[in-house]
Amino acid sequence: MSTDPRTGAVPLAPGYQRDHEVHPPLDYPGYKSTALRHPKRPLQLLPHMLTEITGPVLGEDRVGETDNDLTRQHEDEPQGQRIIVHGRVRDGDGHPVPNTLIEIWQANAGGRYRHTGDNWPCPLDPNFSGVGRTLTDDQGRYRFVTIRPGAYPWNNHDNAWRPAHIHFSLFGRAFTQRLVTQMYFPGDPLFFQDPMWNSIPDEKARQRLVARFDYANTAPEWALAFEWDIVLRGHGSTVFESEVDDD
């Protein structure tokens, strides 16, 4: 069986289209984990059965009152700079995608996740869990209030640091309809050595992962604002987890 001429990987499933001028290879040497994670067998398209359509339903009953405000989920205020992250989810034709469940997770202001596997010497914030969720409205708009995350070291290469970022997970009406990506902040000085960023060959595609500072929507004396739209398909689509892996 022949391999992908660009990546050396096994053939992709019939019907799976991948723009190699935009999206990075599934196995990227600069990002060591992809050697273990990338597909080594031919991909298989799963049939669309009744289970994928009927359940689990991910809708309004999955969202709590404070789920989209990570600064109000605990008794006291979290440490760090409060920010508003907002935008729209659109399809390839620019139409809004309403009633889509969005989940986020992130490190705290010092760059540490509330996770047993994260043990770098930065204090945990007892008032910040780093997770939230919301539904897009009828116009595909979403909004989170959170804390600007810090950069953190990891062991991918010598003196490796991940730029500040927030992970996004988008669901359709069922768990199998899930896309994962991440949002960066403008002007980050750590882009140059981040393999997830540098694995994207197209500069325009990289920039679609960077939020725009939005002074007009800052909350006076409370929170700065950043705007980030997510495009699900087409030539202007956001790069998702199948193209940019996660750490």
Closest CA to 79 of 146, 33, 143, 135: 146
Active-site residue, selected from the candidate residues 38, 133, 162, 206: 162
Q: Is 165 known to be catalytic?
A: yes
Q: How far is CA 103 from CA 35, 68, 142, 236, 245, in A?
A: 27, 9, 11, 22, 17
Q: Are 195 and 156 in contact (CB under 8 A)?
A: yes
Active-site residue, selected from the candidate residues 38, 165, 206, 208: 165
Q: Is 167 known to be catalytic?
A: yes
Active-site residue, selected from the candidate residues 28, 31, 142, 152: 152
Q: Are 105 and 129 in contact (CB under 8 A)?
A: no
Q: What are phi and psi of 119, to 5 degrees?
A: -130, 25
Q: Is 162 known to be catalytic?
A: yes
List alpha helices for the chain, DSSP H. Answer: 34-37, 50-54, 195-198, 203-207
Active-site residue, selected from the candidate residues 31, 113, 142, 184: 113
Active-site residue, selected from the candidate residues 38, 167, 206, 208: 167
Residues carrying an active site annotation: 113, 152, 162, 165, 167
